[in-house]
Copies of this chain bind each other. A is one copy, B any other.
Amino acid sequence: MASEGVRRRGPKFRRRSEARPDEVLDAALALFVEKGFAATRVEDIAARAGVSKGTVYLYFPSKDAVLEGLVRRGILPIAESAIEKFGNLEGDPRIILASAIRMLGSRFSDPEVRAIPKVVLREVVSFPHLAEMYRREVLDHVIPVVVSLIERGIAEGYMRPVDPELTVRSIVGPLVLHVVLAEVFGVVPKGGVEIEKLIDNHLSILFDGLSADAVKAE
C-alpha cells in the first residue's frame, strides 16, 4: 500500500490453504472466549476467519457444531502429550509431581491453552455433552495417572497415606483457583500473577505442610 507500484517477488498470491475449518475454529475460539457463545454471531466468526457466513456452514452444519468441533480439536493433543510423559517415570514421585505441576503451570500461562476449558466451563449448562466429552477425553486420562503416581508414592514410602483421588484436588486446585481469581475477578497478589511464585509456594506447602517444624514436632 505504501510502496505502491513496487512489487516484491515471492509467493505473493498464496492461495488460502486447505486449513479453512481450522481458521474458522480459531476465530470462533477467540470470540467465544471474549464474548461467550451466545453473544457471538456466526457472522462474527466468519468475518474474523476472513470468510463469508455461508462458508462457515460449508464446514460445520451449525453454530453448535463449531463449538463442538472446537472442543474436540482442543482436546485431542492433551490426552496424548502430558500423560505419556509422566506416566511411566521412575524414582521419587514427588519430583515427577513437581515437574508435572510446573509444566501444567507453564501451559496454563498460555491463554490459548486456557481457552478451551474456559469455554467448556462457561457453556457446559447449554451443552452438557461438551463437559462429558472433556471429562472423558481429558480428565479420565489425566487424573488416573496422577492418582497412580500418588499411590506409588505412598507404597514406596515417599508419601503419607492420603486418599489419592482426593489428593488430586489438593495438587491441582491451587493452580486453578489462582487462574480463576486472576482472570475472572481480577484478584492479583501483590507480587503479580506470575504462576512460578505460586507454584513454589504451593509445592512447599503441598509437600512439607503449612505447620512450622517446631509445632509439627509437638
Chain A interface residues (CB < 8 Å from chain B): 1-3, 33-39, 63-64, 94, 121-122, 124-129, 131-132, 134-135, 139-140, 143, 153, 157-160, 162-163, 165-167, 169-170, 172-178, 180-181, 184-187, 189-191, 197-198, 201-202, 204-216
Contacts and interface: CB of A to CB of B under 8 A. Distances in A.
Copies in the complex: 4
Contact of A2 (B127, B198, B210, B212): B127
B206 A210 contact: yes
Classify the interface of chain A: helix, strand, loop or mixed: helix
Contacts of A128: 3
A75 to B, nearest CB: 13
A130 B140 CA distance: 33
A205 B206 contact: yes
A21 to B, nearest CB: 20
A126 B39 contact: yes
Contacts of A198: 166, 169
Given A38-B38, A121-B121, A169 B174 contact: yes
B39 A163 contact: no
A112 to B, nearest CB: 17
A124 B184 contact: yes
Contacts of A181: 139, 169
Contact of A157 (B127, B174, B190, B215): B215
